[in-house]
């Protein structure tokens, strides 16, 4: 029952805010804040009593198939912690938007609460169609937020955001429909168990499976975003009001990563393993490229957008390394990034609300003028740069560790360059904004008020708490992540040992006949294997035991 209540509560809260509050911004601010806090308290037990599965409610029969869609909700460690992110960021978004939104708080709070409900729905649903509905519907309140409260270019940004993400997930709808048609069910667990049968009976060809895989991967890659599909991000982030950006960057982007873990890896383990190197390379381009582009930005919201791209790409690299250590870093990194990016957006939003500018050169010497802002900004920047003691460090450490153990030195080194580059672009803005000569035009800039401070401080405290004590997240979410990716990981290990054997055979052949065959680049641990090998594991090499040392130990001489 709890999950249904949790799903409905923000919607009820949104209705209450709309109808019960007066026209003035203040009353709807208070109501929205109190109601969202109540929702958050309601959702808190999720982290203690889990896993939780609700009775399914029959909904409708999908057109053209004999599959019945059920409203099936369930919570486990991964969902629970991402939901915590959603439900606690919502009151913070409302609290931090008071000055920026002002009298129009009623619309703002309602949109934020609706978005909260839809994100909770997406994270809880275990039915493909239901998930899709929530996943798409999330766009609508976001669009409202951007269109009503966005920056100067909000029209084109909202259009762009909507069309791009819509385009990304439309193929997923087709794929879901096809799966429902073939398997007669839209239940996630049923589909996962039915897929191998479809392949064996020939109803699903290797090419067809690739298309399905691509459709799902595309939808989530746009959401994360992964590199070639990132171009909506900077524009949208920079035009979104700070409170909306808190939810957009802090929580909604995580649902893209969540989609990979919940749907792509369990449904298509063989293909995920086979094409893992593509995701790793795209991730690496995102990690380094995102950081480099962030260095060249003068608009700080755009800088945060590219920084976000860089950090979430690192998560993708970690996931597709399939190493347990990296997978162990995924949940805590998602939470950590949610906290720090939300704090960054809030702080930039505060300045924007005061002076309606956010450029690199628009401020200077703020450390004197607004010391509280300065302290919070420096702390947040250092947390984003993964200083040890913050949750970001725990996540980044485990991700890099797993990347090293799973994919070798080169990939870990390239991914680790973000450690340096992140410091470069964050300290650049810290220096320009906070230090140096004070701009005379800023002499009347007021420091942060109590509400604004209260919105940021919990984020930083949580980041420190999980930085020193990530155990609650690790204990509950990591086993789920590892289990969801278990089959894909087995496949990846199989491919790796097969590649190692092929390499050994090649070396033998090379010693027999003097041929100078150069082995493949070790970073690409999984050269594209013939599709039958994946569908018929018996013919593949014996499954390598789950050793942590990679088959091709990196013998790099720096």
Partner 1 sequence: MKVSFELLWLIPFLPLLGAIINGALSLGGARSTYGASRGFVSLIAVLMPALAFVITVIAAFTLSGVQSHADMKNALVQNLWEWIAVDVAGFKFSVTAGLLFDKLTSMMLLFVTGIGTLIHLYSVGYMWEDRGFARFMAYLNLFMFSMIILVIGDSLPLTFLGWEGVGMCSYLLIGFWHHNNEYNDAARKAFIVNRIGDLGFLLGAFALFLVMDSNGLGSLNYREIAIWFQNPAHAELIATSSGLLGAACVLIFLGCTGKSAQIPLVTWLPDAMAGPTPVSALIHAATMVTSGVYLLARLADVFVVATAPVFLGLDALDIVLIVGCMTAAWGAIAGLVQLDIKKALAYSTVSQLGFMFMACGVGAFDVALFHVFTHAFFKATLFLAAGSVIHGLHHEQDMRRMGGLAKLMPITYAWFWCGWFAIIGLPGGSGFFSKDLILERLFLGGGFAPFIGAVALAVALLTAIYMTRVMYLTFWSPARHSDEVKGKVHESPATMLIPITILGFGSLVVGVLWSPLLEQYGVGTHAFESYLRPVLGSAQAISAKLAHPGGHSAHPSLWLFAGAGIAAAVGGLLIARWFWHRGHVNSSEKDLVGFAAWWTWGFDRVYHALVILPIKVVAWIMAWIVDALVAGAVGLTAEVARFLGDGYTSVQRPRLRSSLALSAAGAVGLVSLLLLSGPIAWVVGLAAVAVAVVFLLLEFLL
Minimum distance between the CB of residue 420 and partner 1, rounded to whole angstroms? 5
Residue 241 and residue 282: Cα distance in Å, rounded?
Answer: 29
- Site for partner 1 contains 437 (CB under 8 A): yes
Q: Identify the CA nearest to 90 among candidates 34, 135, 132.
A: 34
Q: Choose one: 70-78, 189-197, 241-249, 471-479; the region binding partner 1 (CB under 8 A).
A: 471-479
- Site for partner 1 contains 281 (CB under 8 A): yes
Q: Identify the CA nearest to 262 among candidates 172, 356, 395, 394.
A: 172
Whichever of 388 and 532 has its CB closer to partner 1, that residue is: 388
Count of alpha carbons within 13 angstroms of residue 141, beta-carbon side:
26
The residues facing 127 across adjacent strands are: 187
Of positions 327, 334, 351, 456, contacts partner 1 by CB under 8 A: 327
Q: What is the DSSP string of 329-382?
A: HHHHHHHHHHHHHHHHHHHHHHHHHHHS--BTTS---HHHH-HHHHHHHHHHHH
Of positions 479, 501, 510, 531, contacts partner 1 by CB under 8 A: 479
**3-state class of 52 per DSSP?**
strand
Residue 429 and residue 306: Cα distance in Å, rounded?
Answer: 14
Q: What distances in angstroms separate CA 433 from CA 236, 258, 376, one per listed residue?
A: 23, 35, 13
Element (H, E) at 69: strand 68-71
Of positions 420, 461, 504, 528, contacts partner 1 by CB under 8 A: 420
Q: Which residues of 413-447 are buried (b: 16+ CB within 10 A; e: fewer)?
A: ebbbebeebbbebbebbbebbbeeebbeebeebee
Whichever of 57 and 424 has its CB closer to partner 1, that residue is: 424
Q: Report yes or no: 261 and 78 within 8 Å, Cβ to Cβ.
A: yes
Of positions 42, 44, 419, 541, contacts partner 1 by CB under 8 A: 419
Q: Choose one: 75-83, 313-321, 366-374, 496-504; the region binding partner 1 (CB under 8 A).
A: 366-374
Q: Choose one: 135-143, 268-276, 279-287, 500-508; the region binding partner 1 (CB under 8 A).
A: 279-287
Of positions 82, 409, 487, 499, contacts partner 1 by CB under 8 A: 409
Residue 96 and residue 288: Cα distance in Å, rounded?
Answer: 31
Site for partner 1 in 376-405 (CB under 8 A): 382, 387-389, 393-394, 397-398, 400-401, 404-405
- Site for partner 1 contains 413 (CB under 8 A): yes
Of positions 297, 308, 463, 491, contacts partner 1 by CB under 8 A: 297
Site for partner 1 in 497-556 (CB under 8 A): 521, 524, 545-549, 553-556
Whichever of 160 and 178 has its CB closer to partner 1, that residue is: 160
Of positions 4, 435, 464, 465, contacts partner 1 by CB under 8 A: 435
- Site for partner 1 contains 314 (CB under 8 A): no
Site for partner 1 in 151-210 (CB under 8 A): 156, 159-160, 163-164
Minimum distance between the CB of residue 370 and partner 1, rounded to whole angstroms? 9
Site for partner 1 in 243-262 (CB under 8 A): none
Whichever of 73 and 484 has its CB closer to partner 1, that residue is: 484
Of positions 2, 18, 278, 544, contacts partner 1 by CB under 8 A: 278
Number of neighbouring beta carbons within 10 Å of residue 361? 10
- Site for partner 1 contains 486 (CB under 8 A): yes
Q: What distances in angstroms separate CA 192 from CA 70, 125, 198, one per listed residue?
A: 16, 15, 10
């Amino acid at each position: 029952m709890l999950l249904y209540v949790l799903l409905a509560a923000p919607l009820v809260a949104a209705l209450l805010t709309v109808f019960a509050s007066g026209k003035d911004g203040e009353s709807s601010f208070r109501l929205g804040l109190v109601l969202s806090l109540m929702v958050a308290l309601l959702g808190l037990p999720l982290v203690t009593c889990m896993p939780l599965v609700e009775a399914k409610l029959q909904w409708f029969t999908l057109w053209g198939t004999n599959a019945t869609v059920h409203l099936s909700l369930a919570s486990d460690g991964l969902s629970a912690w991402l939901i915590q992110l959603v439900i606690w960021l919502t009151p913070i978004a409302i609290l931090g938007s008071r000055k920026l939104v002002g009298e129009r708080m009623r619309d703002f709070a309602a949109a934020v609460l609706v978005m909260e409900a839809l994100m909770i729905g997406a994270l809880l649903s275990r039915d493909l169609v239901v998930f899709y509905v929530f996943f798409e519907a999330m766009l609508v309140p976001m669009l409202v937020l951007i269109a009503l409260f966005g920056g100067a270019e909000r029209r084109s940004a909202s259009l762009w955001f909507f069309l791009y993400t819509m385009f990304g997930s439309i193929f997923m709808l087709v794929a879901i429909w096809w799966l429902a048609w073939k398997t007669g069910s839209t239940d996630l667990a049923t589909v996962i168990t039915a897929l191998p049968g479809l392949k064996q009976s020939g109803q699903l060809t290797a090419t067809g499976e690739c298309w399905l895989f691509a459709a799902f991967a595309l939808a989530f890659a746009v959401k994360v975003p992964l590199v070639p599909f990132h171009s909506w991000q900077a524009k949208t982030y920079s035009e979104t009001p700070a409170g909306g950006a808190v939810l957009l960057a802090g929580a909604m982007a995580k649902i893209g990563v969540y989609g990979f873990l919940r749907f792509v890896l369990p449904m298509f383990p063989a293909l995920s393993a086979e094409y893992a190197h593509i995701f790793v390379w795209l991730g690496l381009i995102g990690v380094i490229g995102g950081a480099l582009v962030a260095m060249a930005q003068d608009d700080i919201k755009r800088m945060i957008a590219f920084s976000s791209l860089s950090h979430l790409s690192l998560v993708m690299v970690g996931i597709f390394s399939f190493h347990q250590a990296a997978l162990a870093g995924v949940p805590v990194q998602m939470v950590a990034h949610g906290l720090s990016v939300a704090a960054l957006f809030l702080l930039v939003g505060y300045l924007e609300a005061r002076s309606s500018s956010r450029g690199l050169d628009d401020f200077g010497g703020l450390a004197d003028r607004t010391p509280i802002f300065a302290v919070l900004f420096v702390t947040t920047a250092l947390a984003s740069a993964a200083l040890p003691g913050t949750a970001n460090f725990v996540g980044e450490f485990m991700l890099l560790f797993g990347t090293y153990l799973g994919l070798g030195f080169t990939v870990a080194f390239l991914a680790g360059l973000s450690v340096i580059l992140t410091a470069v672009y964050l300290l650049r803005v810290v220096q320009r904004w906070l230090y140096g000569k004070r701009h005379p035009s800023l002499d009347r800039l007021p420091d942060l008020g109590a509400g604004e401070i209260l919105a940021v401080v919990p984020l930083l405290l949580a980041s420190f708490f999980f930085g020193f004590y990530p155990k609650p997240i690790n204990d509950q979410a990591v086993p789920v992540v590892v289990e969801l990716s278990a089959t894909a990981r087995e496949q990846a290990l199989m491919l790796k040992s097969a590649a190692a054997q092929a390499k050994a055979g090649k070396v033998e052949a090379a010693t027999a006949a003097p041929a100078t065959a150069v082995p493949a680049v070790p970073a690409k641990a999984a050269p594209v294997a013939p599709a039958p090998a994946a569908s018929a594991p018996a013919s593949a090499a014996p499954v390598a035991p789950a050793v942590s040392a990679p088959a091709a130990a990196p013998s790099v001489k720096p």
